[in-house]
Structure 1
Amino acid sequence: MLLDGAFVTMKLAAVATVLGFVIGTFCAVGRNSSYRWLSALCTGYVEIIRNTPFLVQIFLVFFGLSSIGLTLSAFSVAIIALTINVGAYTGEIMRAGFNTVHAGQWEAAECLALSRAQVYWHVVLRPAVERVYPSLTSQFILLMLASSITSQISVSELTGNANYIQGISFRPMETFVTIGVMYFGLALLMRFVFWLIALVIFPRRRRLGTSI
Protein backbone atom coordinates (compact mmCIF):
# COMPACT_ATOMS: atom_id res chain seq x y z
CA MET A 1 0.00 0.00 0.00
CA LEU A 2 2.85 2.40 0.74
CA LEU A 3 4.40 1.74 -2.67
CA ASP A 4 1.03 2.33 -4.32
CA GLY A 5 0.71 5.56 -2.34
CA ALA A 6 4.20 6.66 -3.39
CA PHE A 7 3.25 6.06 -7.04
CA VAL A 8 0.13 8.22 -6.66
CA THR A 9 2.23 10.92 -4.94
CA MET A 10 4.64 11.00 -7.87
CA LYS A 11 1.77 11.15 -10.36
CA LEU A 12 0.29 14.11 -8.51
CA ALA A 13 3.67 15.84 -8.45
CA ALA A 14 4.44 15.17 -12.12
CA VAL A 15 1.12 16.41 -13.50
CA ALA A 16 0.94 19.45 -11.21
CA THR A 17 4.58 20.34 -11.98
CA VAL A 18 3.96 20.50 -15.74
CA LEU A 19 0.64 22.35 -15.49
CA GLY A 20 1.92 24.64 -12.74
CA PHE A 21 4.99 25.59 -14.79
CA VAL A 22 2.81 26.52 -17.76
CA ILE A 23 0.40 28.56 -15.64
CA GLY A 24 3.24 30.19 -13.71
CA THR A 25 5.05 31.20 -16.89
CA PHE A 26 1.94 32.80 -18.39
CA CYS A 27 1.28 34.49 -15.04
CA ALA A 28 4.80 35.95 -15.01
CA VAL A 29 4.29 37.26 -18.53
CA GLY A 30 0.94 38.70 -17.48
CA ARG A 31 2.41 40.53 -14.49
CA ASN A 32 4.94 42.21 -16.80
CA SER A 33 2.21 43.07 -19.31
CA SER A 34 1.46 46.65 -20.31
CA TYR A 35 -2.25 45.84 -19.95
CA ARG A 36 -3.09 46.97 -16.43
CA TRP A 37 -6.13 44.71 -16.05
CA LEU A 38 -4.06 41.62 -16.94
CA SER A 39 -1.22 42.62 -14.64
CA ALA A 40 -3.69 43.28 -11.80
CA LEU A 41 -5.43 39.95 -12.39
CA CYS A 42 -2.17 37.98 -12.28
CA THR A 43 -0.96 39.95 -9.25
CA GLY A 44 -4.20 39.26 -7.40
CA TYR A 45 -3.98 35.54 -8.15
CA VAL A 46 -0.39 35.32 -6.92
CA GLU A 47 -1.00 37.30 -3.75
CA ILE A 48 -4.15 35.40 -2.78
CA ILE A 49 -2.58 31.97 -3.28
CA ARG A 50 0.73 32.84 -1.60
CA ASN A 51 -0.98 34.28 1.45
CA THR A 52 -3.52 31.55 2.20
CA PRO A 53 -2.88 28.01 3.50
CA PHE A 54 -2.86 25.20 0.97
CA LEU A 55 -5.25 23.20 3.16
CA VAL A 56 -7.84 25.99 2.88
CA GLN A 57 -7.30 26.16 -0.88
CA ILE A 58 -7.85 22.45 -1.38
CA PHE A 59 -11.02 22.51 0.72
CA LEU A 60 -12.31 25.48 -1.28
CA VAL A 61 -11.73 23.61 -4.54
CA PHE A 62 -13.16 20.36 -3.19
CA PHE A 63 -16.33 21.79 -1.66
CA GLY A 64 -16.63 24.67 -4.12
CA LEU A 65 -16.84 22.43 -7.18
CA SER A 66 -19.33 20.10 -5.50
CA SER A 67 -21.50 23.07 -4.45
CA ILE A 68 -22.00 24.02 -8.11
CA GLY A 69 -22.83 20.46 -9.06
CA LEU A 70 -19.47 19.53 -10.57
CA THR A 71 -18.45 16.13 -9.24
CA LEU A 72 -14.83 15.14 -9.75
CA SER A 73 -12.69 12.41 -8.29
CA ALA A 74 -10.51 13.25 -5.31
CA PHE A 75 -7.43 12.75 -7.50
CA SER A 76 -8.69 15.31 -10.05
CA VAL A 77 -9.49 17.83 -7.33
CA ALA A 78 -6.01 17.32 -5.87
CA ILE A 79 -4.43 17.99 -9.28
CA ILE A 80 -6.45 21.20 -9.68
CA ALA A 81 -5.60 22.47 -6.19
CA LEU A 82 -1.90 21.60 -6.47
CA THR A 83 -1.68 23.23 -9.90
CA ILE A 84 -3.35 26.43 -8.72
CA ASN A 85 -1.03 26.56 -5.71
CA VAL A 86 2.27 25.87 -7.43
CA GLY A 87 1.33 28.08 -10.40
CA ALA A 88 1.41 31.16 -8.17
CA TYR A 89 4.81 30.36 -6.67
CA THR A 90 6.20 29.43 -10.08
CA GLY A 91 4.92 32.71 -11.47
CA GLU A 92 6.98 34.69 -8.97
CA ILE A 93 10.07 32.59 -9.65
CA MET A 94 9.69 33.00 -13.40
CA ARG A 95 9.08 36.74 -13.06
CA ALA A 96 12.36 37.01 -11.19
CA GLY A 97 14.01 35.10 -14.03
CA PHE A 98 12.52 37.42 -16.66
CA ASN A 99 13.80 40.44 -14.74
CA THR A 100 17.37 39.11 -14.97
CA VAL A 101 17.37 39.37 -18.75
CA HIS A 102 19.35 42.48 -19.70
CA ALA A 103 17.41 45.34 -21.24
CA GLY A 104 19.83 45.32 -24.17
CA GLN A 105 18.58 41.89 -25.21
CA TRP A 106 14.99 43.16 -25.26
CA GLU A 107 16.05 46.17 -27.35
CA ALA A 108 18.04 44.01 -29.77
CA ALA A 109 15.06 41.71 -30.26
CA GLU A 110 12.77 44.67 -30.88
CA CYS A 111 15.26 46.01 -33.44
CA LEU A 112 14.88 42.72 -35.29
CA ALA A 113 11.12 43.40 -35.42
CA LEU A 114 10.27 40.40 -33.28
CA SER A 115 6.81 40.33 -31.77
CA ARG A 116 6.32 40.32 -27.99
CA ALA A 117 5.57 36.59 -28.08
CA GLN A 118 8.69 35.90 -30.17
CA VAL A 119 10.84 37.93 -27.80
CA TYR A 120 9.65 35.91 -24.81
CA TRP A 121 10.03 32.59 -26.62
CA HIS A 122 13.38 33.09 -28.38
CA VAL A 123 15.20 35.62 -26.19
CA VAL A 124 13.80 35.57 -22.67
CA LEU A 125 12.31 32.22 -21.71
CA ARG A 126 15.28 29.87 -21.97
CA PRO A 127 17.87 32.12 -20.26
CA ALA A 128 15.33 32.97 -17.55
CA VAL A 129 14.53 29.32 -16.85
CA GLU A 130 18.23 28.48 -16.73
CA ARG A 131 18.89 31.15 -14.13
CA VAL A 132 16.02 30.19 -11.83
CA TYR A 133 16.19 26.44 -12.45
CA PRO A 134 17.51 25.60 -8.95
CA SER A 135 14.63 27.57 -7.41
CA LEU A 136 12.12 25.83 -9.67
CA THR A 137 13.56 22.46 -8.70
CA SER A 138 13.19 23.22 -5.01
CA GLN A 139 9.65 24.52 -5.48
CA PHE A 140 8.52 21.40 -7.34
CA ILE A 141 10.04 19.16 -4.66
CA LEU A 142 8.11 21.16 -2.05
CA LEU A 143 5.03 20.58 -4.19
CA MET A 144 5.57 16.83 -3.99
CA LEU A 145 5.89 17.04 -0.21
CA ALA A 146 2.79 19.27 0.02
CA SER A 147 0.77 16.63 -1.83
CA SER A 148 0.54 14.84 1.53
CA ILE A 149 -2.19 17.36 2.44
CA THR A 150 -4.43 15.87 -0.25
CA SER A 151 -4.96 12.94 2.10
CA GLN A 152 -7.48 15.27 3.83
CA ILE A 153 -9.83 14.78 0.88
CA SER A 154 -9.25 11.01 0.82
CA VAL A 155 -6.65 10.82 -1.95
CA SER A 156 -4.86 7.48 -1.62
CA GLU A 157 -1.37 8.91 -1.80
CA LEU A 158 1.52 8.04 0.50
CA THR A 159 0.32 9.85 3.63
CA GLY A 160 -3.29 8.80 3.08
CA ASN A 161 -2.33 5.13 2.87
CA ALA A 162 -0.02 5.53 5.87
CA ASN A 163 -2.92 6.90 7.93
CA TYR A 164 -4.98 3.85 7.04
CA ILE A 165 -2.15 1.45 7.87
CA GLN A 166 -1.40 2.99 11.26
CA GLY A 167 -5.12 3.01 12.03
CA ILE A 168 -5.45 -0.74 11.62
CA SER A 169 -2.01 -1.75 12.89
CA PHE A 170 -1.76 0.67 15.85
CA ARG A 171 1.89 1.29 14.90
CA PRO A 172 2.03 5.02 14.12
CA MET A 173 5.73 5.44 14.96
CA GLU A 174 6.92 2.70 12.60
CA THR A 175 4.51 3.81 9.88
CA PHE A 176 5.44 7.47 9.83
CA VAL A 177 9.17 6.83 10.16
CA THR A 178 8.86 4.61 7.11
CA ILE A 179 7.04 7.19 5.00
CA GLY A 180 9.46 9.87 6.19
CA VAL A 181 12.28 7.82 4.69
CA MET A 182 10.20 7.26 1.55
CA TYR A 183 9.51 10.98 1.11
CA PHE A 184 13.21 11.67 1.48
CA GLY A 185 13.93 9.09 -1.22
CA LEU A 186 11.27 10.60 -3.53
CA ALA A 187 12.80 14.06 -3.05
CA LEU A 188 16.24 12.74 -4.01
CA LEU A 189 14.71 10.97 -7.02
CA MET A 190 13.03 14.18 -8.20
CA ARG A 191 16.25 16.14 -7.77
CA PHE A 192 18.08 13.54 -9.87
CA VAL A 193 15.41 13.69 -12.59
CA PHE A 194 15.59 17.49 -12.73
CA TRP A 195 19.38 17.25 -12.93
CA LEU A 196 19.06 14.94 -15.95
CA ILE A 197 16.57 17.31 -17.58
CA ALA A 198 18.98 20.20 -17.05
CA LEU A 199 21.74 18.29 -18.81
CA VAL A 200 19.51 18.00 -21.86
CA ILE A 201 17.98 21.48 -22.06
CA PHE A 202 20.98 23.50 -20.81
CA PRO A 203 24.00 22.34 -22.86
CA ARG A 204 26.07 25.30 -21.64
CA ARG A 205 25.78 24.07 -18.06
CA ARG A 206 26.75 20.60 -19.22
CA ARG A 207 29.89 21.91 -20.94
CA LEU A 208 30.88 24.02 -17.94
CA GLY A 209 30.00 21.32 -15.43
CA THR A 210 27.84 23.79 -13.49
CA SER A 211 25.85 22.21 -10.69
CA ILE A 212 22.06 22.43 -10.78
Structure 2
Amino acid sequence: MTLDFSVVTDAWYSLLMGVLGTLFLAASGMVIAMVVGVLGVVVLRAQMRIPSLLINAFVEIIRNTPFLVQIFFIFFALPLAGIRLNPTMTAVIALGLNGGAYAIEIIRGGVESVPQGQTEAGLALGLHKGEVFRLIVLTPALRAIYPSLTSQFILLTLTTAICTSISAYELTSVGQRIEAETFRSFEVYFTLTGIYLVISLMTMWLLAAIGRWAFSYPQR
Protein backbone atom coordinates (compact mmCIF):
# COMPACT_ATOMS: atom_id res chain seq x y z
CA MET A 1 0.00 0.00 0.00
CA THR A 2 1.37 3.39 -1.05
CA LEU A 3 0.32 6.40 0.97
CA ASP A 4 -0.71 9.50 -0.94
CA PHE A 5 -1.50 12.54 1.18
CA SER A 6 -1.79 14.76 -1.90
CA VAL A 7 -5.53 14.01 -1.88
CA VAL A 8 -5.64 15.81 1.46
CA THR A 9 -3.38 18.72 0.62
CA ASP A 10 -5.27 19.30 -2.64
CA ALA A 11 -8.48 19.60 -0.65
CA TRP A 12 -7.07 21.98 1.98
CA TYR A 13 -9.67 24.68 1.29
CA SER A 14 -12.56 22.25 1.74
CA LEU A 15 -11.01 20.99 4.98
CA LEU A 16 -10.58 24.57 6.20
CA MET A 17 -14.25 25.28 5.53
CA GLY A 18 -15.09 22.07 7.36
CA VAL A 19 -13.07 23.23 10.37
CA LEU A 20 -14.96 26.53 10.37
CA GLY A 21 -18.23 24.62 10.17
CA THR A 22 -17.21 22.49 13.15
CA LEU A 23 -16.19 25.55 15.17
CA PHE A 24 -19.51 27.25 14.35
CA LEU A 25 -21.49 24.23 15.54
CA ALA A 26 -19.37 23.90 18.68
CA ALA A 27 -19.49 27.60 19.62
CA SER A 28 -23.23 27.87 18.97
CA GLY A 29 -23.88 24.71 20.95
CA MET A 30 -21.79 26.01 23.87
CA VAL A 31 -23.74 29.28 24.03
CA ILE A 32 -27.10 27.51 23.98
CA ALA A 33 -25.86 24.97 26.53
CA MET A 34 -24.83 27.72 28.95
CA VAL A 35 -28.17 29.50 28.58
CA VAL A 36 -30.07 26.25 29.11
CA GLY A 37 -27.84 25.34 32.05
CA VAL A 38 -28.25 28.64 33.90
CA LEU A 39 -32.00 28.92 33.23
CA GLY A 40 -32.49 25.32 34.27
CA VAL A 41 -30.77 25.92 37.60
CA VAL A 42 -32.79 29.10 38.16
CA VAL A 43 -36.00 27.14 37.66
CA LEU A 44 -34.85 24.37 40.00
CA ARG A 45 -33.90 26.88 42.69
CA ALA A 46 -37.35 28.49 42.41
CA GLN A 47 -38.74 25.16 43.64
CA MET A 48 -41.80 25.26 41.41
CA ARG A 49 -43.05 21.68 41.30
CA ILE A 50 -44.15 21.22 37.69
CA PRO A 51 -41.31 23.19 36.03
CA SER A 52 -38.77 21.43 38.25
CA LEU A 53 -40.17 18.03 37.28
CA LEU A 54 -39.92 18.99 33.61
CA ILE A 55 -36.31 20.14 34.00
CA ASN A 56 -35.35 16.95 35.84
CA ALA A 57 -37.10 14.83 33.21
CA PHE A 58 -35.27 16.70 30.44
CA VAL A 59 -31.91 16.11 32.13
CA GLU A 60 -32.56 12.39 32.64
CA ILE A 61 -33.77 11.86 29.06
CA ILE A 62 -30.77 13.63 27.53
CA ARG A 63 -28.20 11.99 29.82
CA ASN A 64 -29.57 8.50 29.26
CA THR A 65 -30.04 8.47 25.49
CA PRO A 66 -27.40 8.56 22.72
CA PHE A 67 -26.73 11.87 21.01
CA LEU A 68 -27.29 10.20 17.63
CA VAL A 69 -30.84 9.26 18.64
CA GLN A 70 -31.44 12.79 19.95
CA ILE A 71 -30.35 14.50 16.76
CA PHE A 72 -32.39 12.09 14.62
CA PHE A 73 -35.45 12.73 16.81
CA ILE A 74 -35.13 16.50 16.43
CA PHE A 75 -34.36 16.26 12.71
CA PHE A 76 -37.38 14.09 11.92
CA ALA A 77 -39.81 15.21 14.65
CA LEU A 78 -39.74 18.98 14.10
CA PRO A 79 -41.10 18.76 10.52
CA LEU A 80 -44.08 16.79 11.89
CA ALA A 81 -44.81 19.83 14.07
CA GLY A 82 -44.52 22.13 11.06
CA ILE A 83 -41.04 23.38 11.97
CA ARG A 84 -38.51 22.88 9.18
CA LEU A 85 -34.85 23.66 9.84
CA ASN A 86 -31.78 23.01 7.76
CA PRO A 87 -29.33 20.36 9.01
CA THR A 88 -26.93 22.94 10.42
CA MET A 89 -29.52 24.63 12.63
CA THR A 90 -30.88 21.25 13.70
CA ALA A 91 -27.35 20.26 14.74
CA VAL A 92 -26.92 23.49 16.72
CA ILE A 93 -30.17 22.89 18.61
CA ALA A 94 -29.29 19.26 19.32
CA LEU A 95 -25.81 20.16 20.55
CA GLY A 96 -27.17 22.98 22.70
CA LEU A 97 -29.81 20.81 24.34
CA ASN A 98 -27.38 17.95 24.88
CA GLY A 99 -24.73 20.20 26.40
CA GLY A 100 -27.38 22.08 28.36
CA ALA A 101 -28.54 18.96 30.19
CA TYR A 102 -25.02 18.27 31.40
CA ALA A 103 -24.48 21.96 32.17
CA ILE A 104 -27.55 21.97 34.42
CA GLU A 105 -26.10 19.18 36.55
CA ILE A 106 -22.65 20.76 36.67
CA ILE A 107 -23.94 24.24 37.51
CA ARG A 108 -26.41 22.87 40.07
CA GLY A 109 -23.58 21.10 41.85
CA GLY A 110 -21.57 24.32 41.93
CA VAL A 111 -24.49 26.40 43.18
CA GLU A 112 -25.31 23.92 45.93
CA SER A 113 -21.70 24.07 47.10
CA VAL A 114 -22.04 27.77 47.94
CA PRO A 115 -22.77 28.12 51.68
CA GLN A 116 -26.31 29.20 52.50
CA GLY A 117 -24.86 31.82 54.83
CA GLN A 118 -23.56 33.82 51.87
CA THR A 119 -27.05 34.05 50.41
CA GLU A 120 -28.50 35.11 53.73
CA ALA A 121 -25.77 37.74 54.11
CA GLY A 122 -26.56 39.18 50.70
CA LEU A 123 -30.27 39.41 51.49
CA ALA A 124 -29.43 41.02 54.83
CA LEU A 125 -27.47 43.70 52.98
CA GLY A 126 -30.60 44.56 51.00
CA LEU A 127 -29.65 42.98 47.71
CA HIS A 128 -32.40 41.77 45.40
CA LYS A 129 -32.77 37.99 45.05
CA GLY A 130 -31.63 38.22 41.45
CA GLU A 131 -28.53 40.15 42.47
CA VAL A 132 -27.80 37.65 45.25
CA PHE A 133 -28.01 34.76 42.80
CA ARG A 134 -25.92 36.45 40.11
CA LEU A 135 -23.23 38.03 42.28
CA ILE A 136 -23.01 35.89 45.40
CA VAL A 137 -24.09 32.44 44.22
CA LEU A 138 -23.59 32.03 40.48
CA THR A 139 -20.22 33.77 40.06
CA PRO A 140 -18.38 31.79 42.78
CA ALA A 141 -20.11 28.61 41.57
CA LEU A 142 -18.96 29.16 37.99
CA ARG A 143 -15.41 29.77 39.21
CA ALA A 144 -15.46 26.44 41.02
CA ILE A 145 -17.03 24.39 38.22
CA TYR A 146 -15.30 26.08 35.28
CA PRO A 147 -12.83 23.19 34.72
CA SER A 148 -15.76 20.74 34.54
CA LEU A 149 -17.62 22.97 32.09
CA THR A 150 -14.45 23.26 30.01
CA SER A 151 -14.16 19.48 29.75
CA GLN A 152 -17.82 19.17 28.83
CA PHE A 153 -17.51 21.80 26.10
CA ILE A 154 -14.44 20.10 24.61
CA LEU A 155 -16.46 16.88 24.50
CA LEU A 156 -19.28 18.82 22.84
CA THR A 157 -16.81 20.05 20.21
CA LEU A 158 -15.85 16.47 19.36
CA THR A 159 -19.52 15.44 19.34
CA THR A 160 -20.05 17.69 16.31
CA ALA A 161 -18.64 14.84 14.21
CA ILE A 162 -21.90 12.93 14.76
CA CYS A 163 -23.80 15.77 13.08
CA THR A 164 -22.60 14.46 9.73
CA SER A 165 -25.36 11.83 10.12
CA ILE A 166 -27.94 14.47 9.12
CA SER A 167 -25.65 16.04 6.49
CA ALA A 168 -24.70 19.05 8.61
CA TYR A 169 -21.69 20.80 7.11
CA GLU A 170 -18.67 20.17 9.33
CA LEU A 171 -15.23 18.58 9.21
CA THR A 172 -16.25 14.92 9.21
CA SER A 173 -18.78 15.42 6.42
CA VAL A 174 -16.06 17.07 4.31
CA GLY A 175 -13.71 14.19 5.07
CA GLN A 176 -16.34 11.64 4.05
CA ARG A 177 -16.84 13.43 0.74
CA ILE A 178 -13.10 13.48 0.05
CA GLU A 179 -12.81 9.79 0.95
CA ALA A 180 -15.73 8.90 -1.33
CA GLU A 181 -14.10 10.73 -4.24
CA THR A 182 -10.53 9.43 -3.73
CA PHE A 183 -10.96 6.10 -1.88
CA ARG A 184 -8.01 7.15 0.33
CA SER A 185 -9.54 6.27 3.69
CA PHE A 186 -6.36 6.09 5.75
CA GLU A 187 -4.94 9.40 4.56
CA VAL A 188 -8.26 11.22 5.01
CA TYR A 189 -9.13 9.93 8.48
CA PHE A 190 -5.54 10.14 9.71
CA THR A 191 -5.63 13.82 8.76
CA LEU A 192 -9.04 14.32 10.38
CA THR A 193 -7.72 12.78 13.59
CA GLY A 194 -4.86 15.26 13.65
CA ILE A 195 -7.15 18.19 12.92
CA TYR A 196 -9.58 17.25 15.69
CA LEU A 197 -6.66 16.91 18.09
CA VAL A 198 -5.48 20.43 17.20
CA ILE A 199 -9.02 21.80 17.56
CA SER A 200 -9.37 20.20 21.01
CA LEU A 201 -6.03 21.52 22.23
CA MET A 202 -6.75 25.02 20.92
CA THR A 203 -10.22 24.99 22.48
CA MET A 204 -8.71 23.86 25.77
CA TRP A 205 -6.15 26.66 25.65
CA LEU A 206 -8.75 29.29 24.72
CA LEU A 207 -11.19 28.27 27.44
CA ALA A 208 -8.38 28.19 30.00
CA ALA A 209 -7.37 31.73 28.99
CA ILE A 210 -10.98 32.89 29.29
CA GLY A 211 -11.18 31.30 32.73
CA ARG A 212 -8.04 33.09 33.92
CA TRP A 213 -9.44 36.39 32.67
CA ALA A 214 -13.00 36.01 33.91
CA PHE A 215 -12.52 34.25 37.24
CA SER A 216 -9.16 35.43 38.54
CA TYR A 217 -9.21 37.06 41.92
CA PRO A 218 -8.22 40.73 42.09
CA GLN A 219 -4.53 41.23 42.70
CA ARG A 220 -3.77 42.97 45.99
Q: Same fold (TM over 0.5)?
A: yes
Residue of structure 1 in register with 2:138 after alignment: 125
CA distance in 2: counterparts of 1:90 and 1:34, whole angstroms: 19
Residue of structure 2 in register with 1:136 after alignment: 149
* 1:9 paired to 2:22: yes
Residue of structure 2 in register with 1:48 after alignment: 61
- What are the superposed Cα offsets for residues 141-175 of structure 1, whole Å, 9 maximum, x if unpaired? 00010011100000120111111111111111111
Identity of matched residues, %: 41
CA distance in 1: counterparts of 2:177 and 2:169, whole angstroms: 9
- AA aligned to 2:166 is I
CA distance in 1: counterparts of 2:124 and 2:84, whole angstroms: 51
CA distance in 2: counterparts of 1:176 and 1:128, whole angstroms: 40
Which structure has the bigger radius of gyration?
A: 2
Residue of structure 1 in register with 2:104 after alignment: 91
* Aligned pair partner of 1:22 in 35, 39, 43: 35
CA distance in 1: counterparts of 2:172 and 2:109, whole angstroms: 33
Q: Name which structure has the greater RCO, CA cutoff 8 Å, separation 6+.
A: 2
* Aligned pair partner of 2:205 in 189, 192, 195: 192
- What are the superposed Cα offsets for residues 183-210 of structure 1, whole Å, 9 maximum, x if unpaired? 0100011111111211221122x859xx
Q: Secondary structure at the match of 1:32?
A: helix
The answer on whether the counterparts of 1:29 and 1:95 sit within 8 Å (CA) in structure 2 is: no
Equivalent positions of 1:151-170 (< 5 A) are 151-170=164-183
Residue of structure 2 in register with 1:34 after alignment: 47
Q: Secondary structure at the match of 2:65?
A: coil
Residue of structure 1 in register with 2:88 after alignment: 75
Q: Secondary structure at the match of 2:46?
A: coil
- What are the superposed Cα offsets for residues 59-83 of structure 1, whole Å, 9 maximum, x if unpaired? 1110111222322111111111111
Residue of structure 1 in register with 2:128 after alignment: 115
- AA aligned to 1:130 is R
Instruction: Give ranges in structure 1 of 5+ residues lacking alignment.
Output: none
Q: Which moved more, 1:84-93 or 1:116-125?
A: 116-125
CA distance in 2: counterparts of 1:93 and 1:14, whole angstroms: 19
CA distance in 2: counterparts of 1:199 and 1:178, whole angstroms: 32
Superposition misfits of 4+ residues, deviation over 3 angstroms: none
CA RMSD of superposed structures (Å): 1.5
CA distance in 2: counterparts of 1:73 and 1:49, whole angstroms: 22
Cα distance, 1:31 vs. partner? 2.2
CA distance in 1: counterparts of 2:17 and 2:129, whole angstroms: 45
Instruction: Give ranges in structure 2 of 5+ residues lacking alignment.
Output: 1-13
Tell me the TM-score normalised to structure 2 length.
0.90
Tell me the TM-score normalised to structure 1 length.
0.93
